[in-house]
Amino acid sequence: MPRRQEHAFVSLLIPLAIFFFASAKIAYSLQFIISSILCVFGGLAPDILDPMRIYPYYTHRAFFHSQRVLLVVGVIFAVVFIFWYFFIKSDILLYFGSFIFGYILHLLLDARTKMGLPKK
């Protein structure tokens, strides 16, 4: 099971890749910095929403770690990205999309483990 540090690192890895390959104008903007921070918070959000439970069995994967939530969040991200890219260049959409992207990365990391994601 990926730990919190691994989720934060992977959620920060994508913005860092954009930082290295993007122009300096984008990489040093306040929007980019806020988006990167929100991506990391999104990567940590599922563990905050589904805290670890020990009784009756050792797990923390409940509703917010499920395949259903991954599907819903993926659709929300696609809609937000399409609206931001094609129609409205709003900072709010960019920030919300960054948070959702971090959440998706978290769920994809958890899906790779032996336990996987519950179907709920």
pLDDT at 59: 62
Tell whether 83 is covered by a domain. Answer: yes
3-state secondary structure of 53: strand
Residue 116 within a domain: no
Domain count, the chain: 1
Q: What is the pLDDT of residues 15-25, one digit of tens each?
A: 777 766 665 56
Question: Interior CA angle at 99 toward 97 and 103, to 5°?
Answer: 110
Q: What is the pLDDT of residue 56?
A: 59
Q: Are 43 and 65 in contact (CB under 8 A)?
A: no
Query: Could you tell me if 10 and 109 are in contact, meaning their C-beta atoms sit under 8 angstroms apart?
Result: yes
Q: Are 119 and 68 in contact (CB under 8 A)?
A: yes
| Band (26; pLDDT cuts 50, 70, 90) | low
Predicted TM-score (pTM) of this structure = 0.83
The rounded distance, in Å, linking the Cα atoms of 94 and 99 is 9
Q: What is the pLDDT of residue 99?
A: 94
pLDDT tens-place string over residues 64-102: 888 999 999 999 999 998 988 888 888 888 899 989 999
Report pLDDT digits (tens) over 36-65.
Answer: 899 999 998 988 888 776 655 666 678 888
* In a domain? residue 120: no
For 27, the token pair is 């990489």
82 belongs to a structural domain? yes
Q: Which long-range contacts (CB under 8 A, 24 or more apart) does 64-68 make?
A: 65/107, 65/110, 65/117, 65/118, 66/117, 66/118, 66/119, 66/120, 67/111, 67/117, 67/118, 67/119, 67/120, 68/119, 68/120
* Range of the structural domain that residue 93 is part of: 4-111
What integer pLDDT is reported at residue 110 of this predicted model?
Answer: 87
- Residue 53 belongs to a domain: yes
